[in-house]
Amino acid sequence: MPAGSRIALLALSGSARSGSRNRRLLDLAINAAVAIEADVSVLDLRDLELPVYVPGLEASAVPQGVLVIRQILCAHDGLLICSPGYNGSVSVLLKNALEWGSQPTFGTGSLAPFRDKIAAIMSVSEHVESGEIALQHLRTILQRMGVIVMPDALAFADDAIAADAIAADAIRDASVVPRVQRQVRLLIEALRAQQHGTVRTRPLR
């Protein structure tokens, strides 16, 4: 990422349901990023149609969606990820995509698309505690893949954001919008600092 270039963010939702609360939360984060003049791309993980992850495949046997997600990851500086917590962990849709994203392809190292990316992670779950636990798992996964995860992860309960409501009625908790805006601002500030070499990246263990 050359110094002074526009920040490019990739936005991902771990929910497979259309109109989900996590997608609404992601939309808030996207709007906040665009307001700070970042470029944001949205990748719908459902469109990749990835099978259950199978490690160790030959490059010729890797699903096309794997090449797509790895190419898109390489083209972006940071990540916005919103995902529900299911049974105390990350959604299957998101975890499966991350596993496939770490599949080496055509001479590109397995974790190259993830290394030194900076991510902001958020969740809407039935209970705040469920989201917090899921985000702890997501943090561990991403850090193991070489991603730098922002210190604060935002977890909201279902009653903070309405599902299947028009945009004006979707946010029920007045604290949601300013918290998301702050988190996105801090993410972009961290990415700009990284541009100028003032963020220390950590080598993989």
Q: What is the pLDDT of residue 199?
A: 59
Q: What is the pLDDT of residue 172?
A: 80
Number of other residues whose CB lies within 10 A of the CB of residue 8 = 15
Residue 139: is it exposed, middle or buried by C-beta count within 10 angstroms (0-12/13-18/19+)?
A: middle
Ranges of residues in the chain with a pLDDT under 50 are 166, 201-205
Full-prediction pTM beyond 0.85?
yes
Tell me the torsion sign for CA atoms 56, 59, 65, 71. Answer: positive
Q: What is the pLDDT of residue 55?
A: 86
d(CA 200, CA 191): 11
End-to-end CA distance of the chain: 24
Q: What is the pLDDT of residue 164?
A: 61
Alpha helix ranges (H) inside the chain: 21-35, 64-74, 92-101, 128-144, 167-170, 176-195
> Could you say which DSSP state residue 6 is in?
P
Q: The tokens 């270039």 sit on which residue?
A: 5
Tell me the torsion sign for CA atoms 181, 183, 184, 190. Answer: positive
Q: The tokens 């916005």 sit on which residue?
A: 80
